[in-house]
Structure 1
């Protein structure tokens, strides 16, 4: 079966040796590889990935240009990239236009790292601009080991944003809310403009629970994802294999949805 990993991360070579161990220490999470683009490509090839998406994060306004330039440099072959804007930056909307011009596939927000609540009206112009540009957005949703006590994007917030901006294509990472699956089921499931990814689902979901959420939301609205370097293709694929899904559903989740949504063609 073809595999497209919708949710991976890497750092510039000079930054990776410091950034990845530091994040691992703060989050108390083990990691795989060394955090570089080369390591990610090697791990993806070894896992048999036909393609993968790299989600970049600008954690300061001053990082937007360099982060998106790095994303553009990484987007080649079977590697695709989301750029990022710091949503409260004065030039965030201008940077969205540059992301579009660079050919990046969308925009990644990590509200915990970027220190904003996703339902803050101050960032609504950014959502409006992303929708107008046809740029899908990925939100880190639910808890994060980096900020375990303060959830900047709850499933309820995610659903409210989806309702307020119906033209905005939203991907709720971590099955719509890490460690908050009851709220995902209550607020997110069934929302027409929210898709989910399975990134690091092994952290908080059993195969049975993951399968239930997927079937209720629709397998046509779920992307396979790992959150590499924090998890691996083998671990997350094993979870899906045990989730009681049909082969047709697995085909959609593992590659078909990504090919259709992003207009890409994958090959073994």
Structure 2
């Protein structure tokens, strides 16, 4: 990678590739994005104006922020065809001064998922994989996903799991069919035990299971937490307390772009009660160590 880590002010470990690279939005996707836009008060989603991966790179480059970016494969559960992992990775390669490529494969694809993951890592330089248990409809500790995790552990890449409730499907009829139970962070504990060398990120303040997330991250040395999906001004007191103390080397800056922009997140972070010596750890140094940058 050609990331000039010393020149960056931060690394955002949670950015979405929401717009397809080479085709129109899928049927039903506008309705989904309208719901997300209403929840996050982000009119761009409702108006079909979400950024492309190239536009995302330009946004982050202008701010000297590195970004982990990924699509989400939830074809089986939602019916939306996925965006190409290969195309996202190729665009990241063109912008490797600022973008870090992650991919997404529905773990229900079984052995095919494991094969595709190894190919993406070896042929396209993918550095990690995003899992969304609520969106993909699976228990993270279901043994059917273990061959997939084994590939990630063997290849030395990162597994990033959505946890808690951050607005996906919120307010939509039946929650758009999404079941919140799948994203309880305690399910990640089994994975951390069974794959002790797999680096794991639990994404988001894990409402309503914040203490469960903190306990897993404190207990398992291979588990981290990213702070995306919420403005820092709404963080629970206990999350800030642990970030300032025993988990200060386990917390990572993440925005949830484009639903929440780094501009908004970082602006609110400045006024949140984090200790001065902890802020650079969250913004960059913990990610530098985790990714070996």
TM-score by length of 1: 0.85
1:135 and 2:149 matched: no
1:36 and 2:45 matched: no
CA contact (8 A) 1:17 1:35 kept: no
Pick aligned residue for 2:71 from 8, 31, 56 = 56
CA contact (8 A) 1:156 1:188 kept: no
3-state DSSP of counterpart to 1:166: coil
1:263, distance to aligned residue in structure 2 (A): 3.1
1:209, distance to aligned residue in structure 2 (A): 4.0
Matched with 1:8 is 15
Q: How many residues align?
A: 261
Shift in alpha-carbon separation, 1:104–1:217, aligned structure 2, 3 A: farther
- Give the aligned CA root-mean-square deviation in angstroms: 2.8
CA contact (8 A) 1:178 1:204 kept: no
TM-score by length of 2: 0.78
Shift in alpha-carbon separation, 1:50–1:26, aligned structure 2, 3 A: closer
CA contact (8 A) 1:4 1:255 kept: yes
Structure-to-structure mapping, 1:242-257, within 5 angstroms: 242-257=271-286
How big is each residue's C-alpha offset from its partner over 1:206-245, in whole Å with a ceiling of 9 and x where there is no partner? 3744411313552222211100111021332234333332
3-state DSSP of counterpart to 1:219: coil
Shift in alpha-carbon separation, 1:256–1:116, aligned structure 2, 3 A: same
With 48-57 and 102-111 compared, the bigger mean Cα shift is at 48-57
Shift in alpha-carbon separation, 1:80–1:22, aligned structure 2, 3 A: farther
Shift in alpha-carbon separation, 1:15–1:203, aligned structure 2, 3 A: farther
How big is each residue's C-alpha offset from its partner over 1:144-179, in whole Å with a ceiling of 9 and x where there is no partner? 43256532121111122212221111000003x244
Pick aligned residue for 1:168 from 179, 185, 198 = 198
1:123 and 2:145 matched: yes
Matched with 1:185 is 214
How big is each residue's C-alpha offset from its partner over 1:64-99, in whole Å with a ceiling of 9 and x where there is no partner? 7x6221221221231111012221214111111112
1:19, distance to aligned residue in structure 2 (A): 7.4
With 50-59 and 33-42 compared, the bigger mean Cα shift is at 33-42
Pick aligned residue for 2:84 from 67, 83, 86 = 67
| Stretches of structure 1 lacking an aligned partner (at least 5 in a row) | none
